[in-house]
């Protein structure tokens, strides 16, 4: 980020937009005083909050990071929310009422002693926000605060933030690619240019209406627009690669989070798994990917996928999984192993002992397709959230598996990179790869998914999800969303 001239007044509510990698997260980190240590050695120009260097008044700003895992510091939910209050020296008799109030505000209805390690990604996102809201900062900084939340959670979080800002008079700066969520509660939109500076600045109506063509060209999401729709998959005979029956799943032995799941994953189709936060979607994804052992029931790969191995994917070795099942974790950082983007993409091909020429060809193709070529030498951990997500998808694709399991694959993407990622995934589908995507991205489900599978929140069997765009029925858990007969 460079050449930025920007002034935000007290009490303003600002939606900060821009292409992936434009510097939105960097700006928030600078405002929070956590960029470049306690000095301004990494900053040219001047960045002030209340007329002072942000690092000198830490506590004045509350920052919710793009990666909620990086913000959980305590073992129990209540203690985690109380942590910031204790550091601010809030009186003990005031701390716990504020902790409960903040948890209620973000819709995290769990006991204070609930283990933070057992929270889903969406629940951790709510927890991080509760910790910030409890501190009642004068400047609230939110980086993709609703990216991993179900639709109801998105509304709850937005309304909670708006209520706290209204009650306290706090200034709000929120980064979110999906602008329609925040337009009702902000009074200003600022768009950062990909080459530096401010591309647009003004009221939501002025910026989004009068500059629509310019913003669209820059990759900015516009309300109610879909960047691209996939053509329907071939609805001929289905070729199952993976099937479950009466499947029980869980991460802790003897503690299932879902029971009795009947599911079929077909070659050449995109299956979207949806449902509220905390119902076990990520656990199901990891189980289907062979990374968690089922707690009951049956999960079996077809001969077409197993290719001579036994049917149970969780019994396969890591190298055997490489060309059979690829996995994209909810947190991209959890699968980074090396010091550069190029080296990261070479990990899988090297494990397959591919020659240098083939490795380079695969890596170059993915770098270009996902707009990462200019970052080939960068450390993966220094990328923006959207860039990390695209890299994590690319690492799974690099070994060309027959089944790809992705957890929130479109997190952090601007409209342009969302479109390129979607086209890449649909291209894999058309080549016969089966894709399973855990997602809260309803645009993705509507535009790309061929089938949808919804998990209920009350621990029983999974249920079919009706399509809002087509008349669907289902007899065994999976609804066909794109014109084929339901199973």
Confidence of residue 69 (pLDDT cuts 50, 70, 90): confident
pLDDT tens, position by position, 219-243:
888 988 899 999 988 878 999 999 9
The set of residues, in sequence order, having a beta carbon less than 8 Å from that of 477 and lying 6+ positions away, is 261, 262, 263, 453, 461, 462, 463, 464, 487
pLDDT of amino acid 278: 86
pLDDT for 20 equals 83
- For residue 485, is pLDDT > 60? no
Residues 383 and 413 in one domain: no
Burial track 14-34 (b if 16+ CB lie within 10 A, e otherwise):
bbbbbbbbbbbbbbbbbbbbb
SS (H, E, C) the chain: CCCCCCCCCCCCEEEEEECCCCCHHHHHHHHHCCCCCCCCCCCCCCCCECCECHHHHCCCEEEECCCHHHHCCCCEHHHHHHHHHHHCCCCHHHHHHHHHHHHHHCCCCCCCCCEHHHCCHHHHHHHHHHHHHHHCCCEEEEECCCCCCCHHHHHHHHHHHHHHHHHHCCEEEEECCCHHHCHHHCCEEEEECCCCCEEEEECHHHHHHHCHHHHHHCCCCCCCCCCCCCCCCCCCCCCEEEEEEEEEECCECCECCEEEEEEEEECCCEEEEECCCCCCHHHHHHHHCCCCCCCEEEEEECHHHHCCCCCCHHHCCHHHHHCCEEEECCCHHHHCCCCCHHHHHHHHHHHCCCCHHHHHHHHHHHHHHCCCHHHCCCCHHHCCHHHHHHHHHHHHHCCCCCEEEEECCCCCCCHHHHHHHHHHHHHHHHCCCEEEEECCCHHHHHHHCCEEEECCCCCCCCEECCCCCCCCCCCCCCEECCCCCCC
Maximum average pLDDT range among 61-65, 196-200, 342-346, 411-415: 342-346
Name the pairing type of β-strands 198-202 and 188-192: antiparallel
Band of residue 463 on the pLDDT scale cut at 50, 70, 90: very low
Asked if residue 349 and residue 338 are part of one domain, the reply reads: yes
Closest CA to 274 of 482, 20, 481, 487: 481
Mean pLDDT of the region 203-209: 93
Measured over all CA atoms, what is the biggest interatomic distance in the chain, rounded to whole angstroms?
Answer: 68
326 strand-pairing partners = 404
Domain extent for 111: 13-217
CB 247 within 8 A of CB 297: yes
- Report the pLDDT value the prediction gives residue 43, as an integer from 0 to 100: 62
Average pLDDT over every residue of 70-84: 93
Closest CA relative to residue 181, chosen from 149, 212, 210, 136? 149
d(CA 229, CA 88): 49
Q: CB 395: neighbour CB atoms within 10 A?
A: 25
Distance CA 80, CA 116 (A): 8
Residues 389 and 475 in one domain: no
In a domain, 27, yes or no: yes
Q: What is the mean pLDDT of residues 375-387?
A: 93
Contact 250, 421 (CB under 8 A): no
Q: What is the dihedral of CA 124, 32, 191, 188, to 10 degrees?
A: 90
Domain check: are 209 and 108 in the same one? yes
> For position 415, what pLDDT does the model report?
92
CATH number for the domain harbouring residue 298: 3.40.50.300
| pLDDT above 60 (res 96) | yes
Please, which pLDDT band fits residue 478 given cuts at 50, 70 and 90? low
- Residue 448 lies inside a defined structural domain of this protein: yes
As given in the structure block, the two tokens for residue 223 are 């309300």
pLDDT at 359 over 90: yes
**At 377, is the pLDDT very low, low, confident or very high (cuts 50, 70, 90)?**
very high
Residue 1 counted as domain residue = no
Q: Is 477 within 8 Å of 464 (Cβ atoms)? A: yes
Same domain? 138 vs 17: yes
> In 206-223, which positions are buried (b, 16+ CB within 10 angstroms) versus exposed (e)?
ebbeebeeebeebbbbbe
Strand order in the sheet with 258-266: 258-266, 240-249, 296-301
Half-sphere exposure of 328 (CA within 13 A, CB side): 28
Cβ neighbours of residue 332 closer than 8 Å, sequence gap 6 or more: 380, 385, 388, 389, 391, 392
Q: Are residues 125 and 236 in the same domain?
A: no
Read off the pLDDT of each residue in 327-339 and give the average, rounded to a whole number.
93
The reply to whether 87 falls in a domain is: yes
**pLDDT value at residue 467:** 34
Say which residue the tokens 């942000």 belong to. 54
Average pLDDT over residues 443-457: 93
pLDDT band at residue 479 under the 50/70/90 scheme = low
pLDDT at 474: 30
Euclidean distance between CA atoms 94 and 389, whole angstroms? 40
pLDDT digit string, tens, across residues 8-52: 999 999 999 998 888 999 999 999 988 765 444 456 788 999 999
For 19, the token pair is: 């292409």
Token representation of residue 389: 């997500």
Determine, yes or no, domain membership for 196.
yes
Question: Are 462 and 262 contacting, i.e. CB atoms less than 8 angstroms apart?
Answer: yes
Whether residues 247 and 300 fall in one domain: yes
Same domain for 392 and 306, yes or no, is no
**C-beta separation of 102 from 148 below 8 A:** no
Instruction: Dump pLDDT digits (tens) for 254-309.
Output: 889 999 999 999 999 999 999 998 899 999 999 999 999 999 999 999 999 999 99
User: Is 424 contained in some domain?
Assistant: yes
In angstroms, rounded to a whole number, what is the distance separating the alpha carbons of residues 21 and 26?
Answer: 9
Residues 202 and 97 placed together within one structural domain of the fold: yes
Q: What is the mean pLDDT of residues 334-361?
A: 96
Query: What is the pLDDT, as a whole number, of residue 146?
Result: 86
The domain boundary, picked from 381, 398, 415, lies at 398
Pairing of strands 479-480, 451-454: antiparallel
Confidence check: pLDDT of 471 > 60 = no
Q: Is residue 61 part of a domain?
A: yes
Provide the domain count of the chain. Answer: 3
Confirm whether 3 is domain-assigned: no
40 and 140 in a common domain: yes
Q: What is the pLDDT of residues 99-140, one digit of tens each?
A: 999 999 898 989 999 999 988 888 888 999 999 999 999 999
Of 179, 200, 217, which residue sits at a domain end?
Answer: 217
Residues 203 and 237 both lie in one domain:
no
Share of the chain above pLDDT 90, in %: 68
Mean pLDDT of 427-450: 96
Kindly indicate the confidence band of residue 424, based on its pLDDT and cuts at 50, 70 and 90. Answer: very high
* Mean pLDDT (the chain, rounded): 89
> Does one domain contain both 87 and 191?
yes
The pLDDT score that the predictor gives to residue 379 is: 97
- Listed residues 194, 217, 240: the one ending a domain: 217
């Amino acid at each position: 980020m460079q050449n930025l001239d920007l002034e935000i007044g007290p009490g303003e509510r600002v939606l900060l937009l821009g292409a992936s990698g434009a510097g939105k997260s960097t700006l928030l980190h600078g405002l929070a005083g956590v960029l470049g240590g306690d000095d301004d050695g990494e900053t040219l120009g001047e960045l002030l909050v209340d007329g002072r260097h942000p690092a000198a008044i830490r506590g004045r700003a509350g920052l919710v990071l793009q990666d909620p895992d990086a913000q959980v510091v305590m073992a129990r939910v209540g203690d985690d929310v109380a942590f910031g209050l204790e550091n601010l020296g809030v009186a003990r008799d005031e701390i716990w009422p504020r902790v409960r109030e903040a948890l209620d505000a973000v819709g995290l209805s769990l006991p204070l002693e609930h283990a933070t390690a057992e929270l889903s990604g969406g629940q951790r996102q709510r927890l991080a926000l509760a910790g910030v809201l409890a501190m009642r900062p004068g400047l609230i900084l939110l980086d993709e605060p609703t990216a991993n939340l179900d639709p109801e959670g998105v509304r709850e979080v937005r309304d909670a933030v708006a209520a706290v800002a209204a009650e306290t008079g706090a200034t709000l700066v929120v980064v979110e690619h999906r602008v329609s969520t925040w337009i009702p509660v902000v009074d200003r939109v600022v768009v950062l240019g990909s080459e530096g500076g401010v591309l647009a600045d003004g009221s939501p109506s002025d910026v989004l209406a009068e500059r629509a063509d310019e913003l669209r060209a820059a990759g900015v999401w516009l309300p109610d627009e879909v960047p691209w729709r996939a053509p329907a998959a071939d609805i001929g005979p289905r070729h199952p690669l993976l099937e479950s029956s009466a499947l029980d799943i869980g991460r802790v032995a003897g503690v299932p989070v879902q029971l009795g799941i009947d599911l079929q994953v077909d070659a050449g189709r995109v299956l979207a798994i949806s449902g509220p936060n905390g119902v076990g979607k990520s656990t199901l994804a990891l189980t289907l990917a062979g990374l968690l052992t089922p707690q009951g029931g049956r999960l079996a790969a077809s001969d077409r996928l197993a290719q001579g191995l036994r049917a149970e994917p969780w019994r396969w070795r890591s190298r055997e999984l490489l060309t059979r099942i690829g996995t994209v974790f909810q947190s991209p950082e959890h699968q980074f192993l090396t010091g550069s983007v190029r080296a990261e993409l070479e990990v899988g091909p090297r494990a397959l002992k591919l020659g240098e020429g083939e490795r380079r060809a695969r890596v170059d193709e993915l770098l270009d397709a996902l707009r990462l070529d200019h970052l080939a030498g960068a450390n993966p951990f220094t990328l923006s959230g959207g860039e990390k997500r695209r890299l994590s998808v690319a690492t799974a694709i690099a070994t060309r598996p027959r089944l790809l399991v992705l957890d929130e694959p479109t997190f952090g993407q601007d409209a342009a990179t969302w479109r390129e990622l979607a086209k890449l995934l649909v291209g894999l589908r058309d080549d016969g790869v089966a894709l399973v995507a855990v997602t809260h991205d309803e645009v993705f489900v509507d535009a790309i998914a061929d089938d949808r599978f919804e998990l209920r929140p009350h621990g029983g069997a999974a249920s079919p999800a009706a399509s809002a765009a087509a008349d669907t029925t289902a007899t065994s858990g999976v609804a066909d969303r794109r014109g084929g007969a339901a199973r």
